[in-house]
Amino acid sequence: MEMKSRLTSVLVFGFAVAALAQQSTPPPVKTADSGPTLASTMQFIQEKLSEQGQVVWAETVSVQPGLVHRLFVTVSDVMADPAACTLYTTETVDSNVYVEPGKIVRMGGKPVVADDLRTHTVETDTVSFKQVEKITVERWQDVKAQGFAEASHPEITVTVTPPVFYLEMRASNPVFSGHVSTSKGNNAPVEQDGTSKMIGHTFRDEDTANHVAKAMTHAMELCGGGVTKKELF
Protein backbone atom coordinates (compact mmCIF):
# COMPACT_ATOMS: atom_id res chain seq x y z
CA MET A 1 0.00 0.00 0.00
CA GLU A 2 2.84 2.39 0.82
CA MET A 3 4.57 1.68 -2.51
CA LYS A 4 1.36 2.23 -4.40
CA SER A 5 0.87 5.52 -2.61
CA ARG A 6 4.36 6.71 -3.61
CA LEU A 7 3.82 5.66 -7.20
CA THR A 8 0.57 7.59 -7.33
CA SER A 9 2.34 10.68 -5.99
CA VAL A 10 5.01 10.43 -8.68
CA LEU A 11 2.41 10.10 -11.45
CA VAL A 12 0.38 13.01 -10.11
CA PHE A 13 3.51 15.15 -9.86
CA GLY A 14 4.42 14.27 -13.47
CA PHE A 15 1.03 15.26 -14.78
CA ALA A 16 1.18 18.49 -12.78
CA VAL A 17 4.54 19.41 -14.35
CA ALA A 18 3.21 18.70 -17.85
CA ALA A 19 0.14 20.81 -17.22
CA LEU A 20 2.15 23.73 -15.90
CA ALA A 21 4.44 23.62 -18.93
CA GLN A 22 1.44 24.12 -21.22
CA GLN A 23 0.09 27.12 -19.33
CA SER A 24 1.06 30.54 -20.59
CA THR A 25 -0.09 32.28 -17.41
CA PRO A 26 -0.19 31.08 -13.81
CA PRO A 27 -3.58 30.07 -12.34
CA PRO A 28 -5.43 32.67 -10.29
CA VAL A 29 -4.58 32.75 -6.61
CA LYS A 30 -7.47 32.11 -4.23
CA THR A 31 -8.05 34.97 -1.84
CA ALA A 32 -8.59 34.44 1.86
CA ASP A 33 -12.04 34.69 3.39
CA SER A 34 -13.11 38.33 3.54
CA GLY A 35 -15.00 37.89 6.81
CA PRO A 36 -13.83 39.14 10.23
CA THR A 37 -10.49 37.90 11.49
CA LEU A 38 -10.34 35.29 14.24
CA ALA A 39 -8.99 37.89 16.66
CA SER A 40 -11.89 40.31 16.07
CA THR A 41 -14.42 37.46 16.15
CA MET A 42 -13.17 36.17 19.49
CA GLN A 43 -13.15 39.73 20.87
CA PHE A 44 -16.79 40.13 19.81
CA ILE A 45 -17.73 36.86 21.56
CA GLN A 46 -15.92 37.91 24.72
CA GLU A 47 -17.61 41.31 24.82
CA LYS A 48 -21.13 40.03 24.16
CA LEU A 49 -20.92 37.31 26.80
CA SER A 50 -19.50 39.77 29.33
CA GLU A 51 -22.23 42.33 28.59
CA GLN A 52 -25.05 39.92 29.46
CA GLY A 53 -24.92 40.59 33.17
CA GLN A 54 -27.42 38.59 35.19
CA VAL A 55 -30.11 36.69 33.27
CA VAL A 56 -33.18 35.92 35.39
CA TRP A 57 -36.22 33.76 34.73
CA ALA A 58 -38.82 31.57 36.47
CA GLU A 59 -39.83 28.02 35.61
CA THR A 60 -42.98 26.10 36.45
CA VAL A 61 -43.33 22.38 35.75
CA SER A 62 -46.71 20.74 35.17
CA VAL A 63 -46.04 17.90 37.63
CA GLN A 64 -44.97 20.31 40.40
CA PRO A 65 -48.05 22.44 41.12
CA GLY A 66 -47.46 25.23 43.59
CA LEU A 67 -43.70 25.37 43.00
CA VAL A 68 -41.83 28.08 41.10
CA HIS A 69 -38.14 27.68 40.24
CA ARG A 70 -36.34 31.03 40.01
CA LEU A 71 -32.93 31.09 38.37
CA PHE A 72 -30.29 33.83 38.38
CA VAL A 73 -27.43 33.22 35.93
CA THR A 74 -24.29 35.34 35.50
CA VAL A 75 -21.36 34.70 33.15
CA SER A 76 -18.07 36.30 34.24
CA ASP A 77 -14.31 36.03 33.76
CA VAL A 78 -14.84 35.59 30.02
CA MET A 79 -11.66 35.19 28.00
CA ALA A 80 -11.68 34.31 24.31
CA ASP A 81 -8.14 33.40 23.26
CA PRO A 82 -7.68 33.50 19.45
CA ALA A 83 -4.18 31.99 19.65
CA ALA A 84 -5.57 28.85 21.29
CA CYS A 85 -9.04 29.01 19.63
CA THR A 86 -10.39 28.60 23.16
CA LEU A 87 -13.16 30.20 25.21
CA TYR A 88 -12.91 30.32 29.01
CA THR A 89 -15.94 31.26 31.15
CA THR A 90 -17.20 31.18 34.72
CA GLU A 91 -20.96 30.78 35.18
CA THR A 92 -22.70 31.38 38.51
CA VAL A 93 -26.22 29.98 38.95
CA ASP A 94 -28.42 30.66 41.96
CA SER A 95 -31.59 28.57 42.00
CA ASN A 96 -34.40 29.18 44.50
CA VAL A 97 -37.67 27.26 44.73
CA TYR A 98 -40.65 29.31 45.86
CA VAL A 99 -43.36 27.32 47.63
CA GLU A 100 -46.96 28.51 47.88
CA PRO A 101 -48.01 29.33 51.44
CA GLY A 102 -49.37 26.28 53.22
CA LYS A 103 -47.80 23.82 50.80
CA ILE A 104 -45.34 21.24 52.16
CA VAL A 105 -42.55 19.97 49.94
CA ARG A 106 -41.11 16.54 50.67
CA MET A 107 -37.86 14.97 49.53
CA GLY A 108 -37.31 11.30 50.28
CA GLY A 109 -40.54 11.32 52.23
CA LYS A 110 -39.35 14.06 54.58
CA PRO A 111 -40.53 17.69 54.59
CA VAL A 112 -37.91 20.23 53.57
CA VAL A 113 -37.38 23.83 54.60
CA ALA A 114 -36.64 26.86 52.42
CA ASP A 115 -32.86 26.52 52.76
CA ASP A 116 -33.05 23.01 51.31
CA LEU A 117 -34.57 24.50 48.15
CA ARG A 118 -31.74 26.93 47.54
CA THR A 119 -28.76 25.96 45.33
CA HIS A 120 -25.61 27.91 44.48
CA THR A 121 -23.46 26.66 41.60
CA VAL A 122 -20.21 28.01 40.16
CA GLU A 123 -18.99 26.38 36.96
CA THR A 124 -15.75 27.14 35.11
CA ASP A 125 -15.63 25.86 31.53
CA THR A 126 -13.09 25.51 28.75
CA VAL A 127 -14.28 25.23 25.14
CA SER A 128 -12.02 24.74 22.14
CA PHE A 129 -13.62 25.89 18.90
CA LYS A 130 -11.46 23.30 17.16
CA GLN A 131 -13.67 20.64 18.75
CA VAL A 132 -17.08 22.30 18.39
CA GLU A 133 -19.17 20.57 15.72
CA LYS A 134 -22.55 22.28 15.90
CA ILE A 135 -23.99 25.51 17.32
CA THR A 136 -27.73 26.13 17.76
CA VAL A 137 -30.05 28.66 19.44
CA GLU A 138 -33.37 27.54 20.94
CA ARG A 139 -35.88 28.76 23.48
CA TRP A 140 -34.91 27.43 26.90
CA GLN A 141 -38.51 26.29 27.35
CA ASP A 142 -38.18 24.07 24.28
CA VAL A 143 -34.85 22.70 25.53
CA LYS A 144 -36.45 21.70 28.84
CA ALA A 145 -39.43 20.10 27.10
CA GLN A 146 -37.10 18.14 24.83
CA GLY A 147 -35.24 16.90 27.89
CA PHE A 148 -38.43 15.49 29.41
CA ALA A 149 -39.42 13.96 26.07
CA GLU A 150 -36.05 12.21 25.76
CA ALA A 151 -36.54 10.92 29.30
CA SER A 152 -39.81 9.28 28.13
CA HIS A 153 -42.03 11.92 29.76
CA PRO A 154 -43.42 13.98 26.87
CA GLU A 155 -46.53 14.71 28.94
CA ILE A 156 -44.55 16.99 31.26
CA THR A 157 -44.66 20.63 30.21
CA VAL A 158 -42.48 23.55 31.33
CA THR A 159 -43.28 27.27 31.29
CA VAL A 160 -40.43 29.80 31.31
CA THR A 161 -41.13 33.46 32.16
CA PRO A 162 -39.83 35.68 30.67
CA PRO A 163 -38.63 33.72 27.63
CA VAL A 164 -34.87 33.17 27.52
CA PHE A 165 -32.76 31.65 24.77
CA TYR A 166 -30.09 28.98 24.98
CA LEU A 167 -27.02 28.92 22.74
CA GLU A 168 -25.68 25.37 22.68
CA MET A 169 -22.31 24.11 21.44
CA ARG A 170 -22.19 20.40 20.72
CA ALA A 171 -19.61 17.73 19.87
CA SER A 172 -19.76 13.99 19.19
CA ASN A 173 -17.51 13.22 22.15
CA PRO A 174 -17.25 14.68 25.69
CA VAL A 175 -14.52 17.18 24.86
CA PHE A 176 -15.72 20.22 26.83
CA SER A 177 -14.08 20.30 30.26
CA GLY A 178 -15.26 22.05 33.38
CA HIS A 179 -15.18 22.28 37.15
CA VAL A 180 -18.41 22.60 39.14
CA SER A 181 -18.85 23.69 42.75
CA THR A 182 -22.39 23.12 44.07
CA SER A 183 -23.78 23.95 47.51
CA LYS A 184 -27.35 23.29 48.64
CA GLY A 185 -28.74 25.34 51.46
CA ASN A 186 -26.17 25.74 54.21
CA ASN A 187 -24.26 22.59 53.29
CA ALA A 188 -20.60 22.66 52.28
CA PRO A 189 -20.00 22.86 48.52
CA VAL A 190 -19.39 19.69 46.52
CA GLU A 191 -16.56 19.96 43.99
CA GLN A 192 -16.54 18.00 40.74
CA ASP A 193 -14.51 17.91 37.52
CA GLY A 194 -15.99 16.52 34.35
CA THR A 195 -16.41 16.60 30.59
CA SER A 196 -19.47 16.97 28.40
CA LYS A 197 -20.63 16.66 24.80
CA MET A 198 -22.61 19.87 25.05
CA ILE A 199 -22.29 23.24 26.73
CA GLY A 200 -24.04 26.57 26.36
CA HIS A 201 -25.14 29.99 27.60
CA THR A 202 -28.50 31.64 28.18
CA PHE A 203 -29.46 35.01 26.72
CA ARG A 204 -32.35 37.30 27.55
CA ASP A 205 -33.02 38.14 23.89
CA GLU A 206 -32.96 36.03 20.75
CA ASP A 207 -31.24 38.63 18.58
CA THR A 208 -28.10 38.73 20.76
CA ALA A 209 -28.06 34.94 21.03
CA ASN A 210 -28.17 34.61 17.23
CA HIS A 211 -25.43 37.20 16.74
CA VAL A 212 -23.13 35.41 19.19
CA ALA A 213 -23.98 32.05 17.59
CA LYS A 214 -23.05 33.43 14.19
CA ALA A 215 -19.73 34.71 15.56
CA MET A 216 -19.04 31.38 17.26
CA THR A 217 -19.81 29.52 14.05
CA HIS A 218 -17.32 31.74 12.22
CA ALA A 219 -14.70 31.11 14.93
CA MET A 220 -15.40 27.38 14.70
CA GLU A 221 -14.82 27.43 10.94
CA LEU A 222 -11.64 29.52 11.21
CA CYS A 223 -10.31 27.17 13.89
CA GLY A 224 -11.04 24.06 11.81
CA GLY A 225 -14.03 22.88 13.78
CA GLY A 226 -17.35 21.63 12.43
CA VAL A 227 -18.57 18.13 11.70
CA THR A 228 -15.69 15.95 10.47
CA LYS A 229 -16.41 14.02 7.28
CA LYS A 230 -15.72 10.31 7.40
CA GLU A 231 -12.65 9.09 5.57
CA LEU A 232 -13.52 7.19 2.40
CA PHE A 233 -10.41 4.99 2.51
The answer as to whether 99 is a domain residue is yes
**What domain range includes position 136?**
37-222
First to last CA, the chain: 12
The answer as to whether 112 is a domain residue is yes
Mean per-residue pLDDT of the chain: 83
Give buried/exposed letters for 49-64 (b at 16+ CB in 10 A, else e): beebeebebebbeeee
The answer as to whether 138 is a domain residue is yes
Which range among 12-16, 107-111, 150-154 has the greatest average pLDDT? 150-154
- pLDDT at 147 exceeding the cut of 70: yes
Residues 6+ apart with CB under 8 A from 120: 92, 93, 94, 95, 182, 183, 189
Number of domains in the chain: 1
- Helix, coil or strand: residue 197: coil
The answer as to whether 110 is a domain residue is yes
* Cα–Cα distance measured from residue 121 to residue 191, given in angstroms and rounded to the nearest whole number: 10
The answer as to whether 149 is a domain residue is yes
8 A C-beta contact, residue 75 and residue 117? no
Provide the pLDDT confidence category of residue 33 given band limits of 50, 70 and 90.
Answer: low
Q: Which pLDDT score is estimated for 113?
A: 59
8 A C-beta contact, residue 168 and residue 182? no
Provide the pLDDT confidence category of residue 117 given band limits of 50, 70 and 90.
Answer: confident
Query: Model's pTM, two decimal places?
Result: 0.78
| pLDDT mean over 30-38 | 66
The answer as to whether 230 is a domain residue is no
The answer as to whether 113 is a domain residue is yes
The answer as to whether 13 is a domain residue is no
| pLDDT mean over 193-206 | 96
